[in-house]
């Protein structure tokens, strides 16, 4: 295959049956957040460039990594690099009553250097709660992320927590930080030395050893919160503690976008390598709706990385839990040559069972191979004898019990009896 016909670097295909874990994760997420009143929202995968410029002109995600281009109508558009901007744009456009709680799942695009756990097209699970400044909502959002991880089988998650203040206390802190960093400018990494003024807060989470050394002595936003921000943060901490949720205060947690205010948090998957162990994160963005032209509206949300969450699920050995109950129930092996196999498959599907069959008149041996490969629990066998007698052979594909023969009319009940109660994926 010529190289331009292969998938682009930093992207991937998810094939059956690997996709079962994706499906399980999505179901698990939907169930978790819908139980707290979040409804599904769908927005376009691309937006006018301006929508994303508003969320962080001084950030790498917007400045360097965005897939933006002029479309055939001469419009400057961009593939979404994150979910929040589109949801906020939709909120402003449709002005639904607040509080407005939505969830979404989809692709994001960032032109990054591809590596394990870092892709150019990746997927996020997201919730956004728009229209309330209540710190108890911060607790709800943070707890929902942890609840989802637990249901998905990711138990080793560290919650990192910080407050970035608001438009009252952040500007003064920014000046304080900038003054400190300017004093230590020569010790910073090359990139931050050159463009320190753009976004001094980003120095705090720079991974380069030089910046990390300087940051050790830097003033901390948490020590410079205004009274309302401090009270908000105290209430968030108390709410988490009331729920028995452990957290680690991380004063360097500023996150990658400009819009965050007050509570910011990140989930670290401890089963993963520390460089790519951020499985998700989020925070308040009380100023974003207004900065995008909407009414002054506080909000909070998070985005969880699907690929990294699945890596964490795998590292913790929980993939089977996500995929459990997703395979076929039965596979019809038909070598009678008439209509019996076709009609039996249709009847099984009609009864709500997950059924597949072989085509093309393959040999019994080839059909049994397909049945094994299909992952079905049971094979239903229709040979000439069964077709003539109106019966079906039932064979357990997982154990080595002998095949038994049941009446055609009894087969659905027999299959149900053998399968036992249905398995709910990701349920806790």
Across 110-193, where does the E strand assignment appear? 121-130, 157-163
- Does residue number 112 form part of the binding site for ligand AMP (CB under 6 A)? yes
User: Which of 278, 344, 355, 392 is in the footprint of ligand AMP by CB under 6 A?
Assistant: 278
Residue 141 phi/psi, 5-degree rounding, is: -65, -50
- Does residue number 110 form part of the binding site for ligand AMP (CB under 6 A)? yes
Cβ proximity to ligand AMP, 264 vs 297, nearer residue = 264
State the Cα–Cα distance between residues 215 and 49, nearest whole angstrom.
33
Apex 411 CA angle, 427 and 321, nearest 5: 20
Contacting ligand AMP within 292-351 (CB under 6 A): 303, 305, 307-308
Strand order in the sheet with 39-40: 39-40, 100-109, 121-130, 299-305, 278-284, 261-269, 157-163, 248-249
Q: Write the interaction track for ligand AMP spanning residues 363-402; mark x where CB under 6 A is met and - where it is not.
A: ----------------------------------------
Span from 118-126, 140-148, 203-211, 345-353 in contact with ligand AMP (CB under 6 A): 118-126
Contacting ligand AMP within 147-186 (CB under 6 A): none
- Does residue number 215 form part of the binding site for ligand AMP (CB under 6 A)? no
State the Cα–Cα distance between residues 130 and 403, nearest whole angstrom.
58
Which alpha helices (H) appear in 68-126, and where do they start and end? 84-94
Three-state helix/strand/coil letters over 27-64: HHHHHHHHCCCCEECCCCCEEEHHHHHCCCCCCHHHHC
Span from 119-127, 185-193, 285-293, 416-424 in contact with ligand AMP (CB under 6 A): 119-127
User: Which of 29, 52, 119, 173 is in the footprint of ligand AMP by CB under 6 A?
Assistant: 119
- The residue nearest ligand AMP at its CB is 305
Cβ proximity to ligand AMP, 253 vs 340, nearer residue = 253
Burial readout 23-33 (b: 16 or more C-beta within 10 A, e: otherwise): bbbbbbbbbbb
Span from 23-31, 110-118, 195-203, 320-328 in contact with ligand AMP (CB under 6 A): 110-118
Tell me the β-bridge partners of 421.
none
Cβ proximity to ligand AMP, 122 vs 233, nearer residue = 122
330-334 vs 378-382, strand pairing mode = parallel
Q: Write the interaction track for ligand AMP spanning residues 48-87; mark x where CB under 6 A is met and - where it is not.
A: ----------------------------------x-----
Contacting ligand AMP within 237-266 (CB under 6 A): 255-256
Span from 117-125, 233-241, 333-341, 411-419 in contact with ligand AMP (CB under 6 A): 117-125
CB of 370 to ligand AMP, least distance (A): 35
CB of 77 to ligand AMP, least distance (A): 20
Count Cα neighbours of 354 within 13 Å in the Cβ-side half-sphere. 12
Q: Do residues 101 and 307 make contact, with C-beta atoms less than 8 angstroms apart? A: no
Chain residues that interact with ligand AMP, rule: CB under 6 A: 82, 110, 112, 117-119, 122, 124, 255-256, 278-281, 303, 305, 307-308
């Amino acid at each position: 295959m010529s190289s331009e016909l292969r998938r682009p670097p930093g992207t991937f295909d998810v094939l059956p049956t690997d996709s079962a874990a994706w499906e399980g994760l999505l179901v698990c997420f939907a169930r978790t957040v819908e139980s707290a009143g979040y409804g599904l929202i769908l927005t376009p995968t691309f937006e006018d460039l301006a929508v994303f410029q508003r969320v962080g002109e001084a950030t790498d995600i917007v400045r360097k990594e965005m897939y933006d281009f002029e479309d055939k109508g001469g419009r400057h558009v961009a593939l979404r690099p994150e979910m929040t901007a589109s949801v906020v744009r939709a909120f402003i456009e449709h002005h639904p009553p607040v509080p407005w709680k939505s969830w979404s799942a989809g692709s994001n695009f960032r032109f990054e250097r591809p590596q394990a756990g870092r892709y150019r097209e990746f997927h996020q699970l997201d919730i956004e709660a728009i229209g309330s400044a209540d710190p108890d909502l911060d607790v709800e959002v943070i707890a929902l992320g942890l609840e989802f991880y637990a249901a998905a089988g990711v138990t080793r998650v560290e919650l990192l927590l910080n407050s970035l203040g608001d438009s009252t206390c952040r500007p003064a802190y920014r000046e304080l930080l900038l003054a400190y960093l300017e004093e230590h400018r020569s010790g910073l990494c090359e990139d931050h030395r050159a463009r320190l003024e753009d976004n001094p807060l980003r120095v705090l989470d720079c991974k380069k050893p030089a910046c990390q050394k300087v940051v050790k002595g830097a003033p901390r936003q948490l020590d410079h919160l205004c009274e309302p921000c401090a009270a908000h943060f105290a209430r968030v901490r108390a709410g988490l503690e009331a729920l028995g949720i452990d957290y680690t205060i991380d004063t360097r947690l500023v996150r990658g976008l400009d819009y965050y205010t007050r509570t910011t948090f990140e989930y670290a998957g401890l089963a993963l390598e520390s460089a790519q162990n951020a499985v998700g994160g989020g925070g308040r963005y009380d100023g974003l709706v207004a900065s995008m032209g909407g009414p002054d509206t506080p909000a909070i949300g998070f985005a969880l990385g699907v690929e990294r969450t699945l890596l964490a699920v795998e590292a913790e050995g929980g993939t089977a839990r996500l995929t459990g109950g997703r395979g076929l129930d039965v596979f019809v092996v038909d070598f009678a040559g008439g209509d019996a196999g076709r009609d039996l498959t249709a009847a099984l599907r009609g009864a709500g069972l997950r059924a597949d069959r072989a085509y093309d008149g393959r040999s019994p041996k080839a059909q049994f191979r397909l049945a094994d490969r299909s992952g079905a629990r049971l094979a239903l066998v229709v040979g000439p004898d069964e077709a003539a007698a109106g019966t079906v052979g039932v064979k357990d594909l997982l154990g080595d019990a002998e095949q038994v023969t049941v009446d055609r009319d009894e087969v659905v009940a027999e299959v149900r009896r053998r399968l036992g109660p249905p398995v709910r994926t990701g349920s806790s």
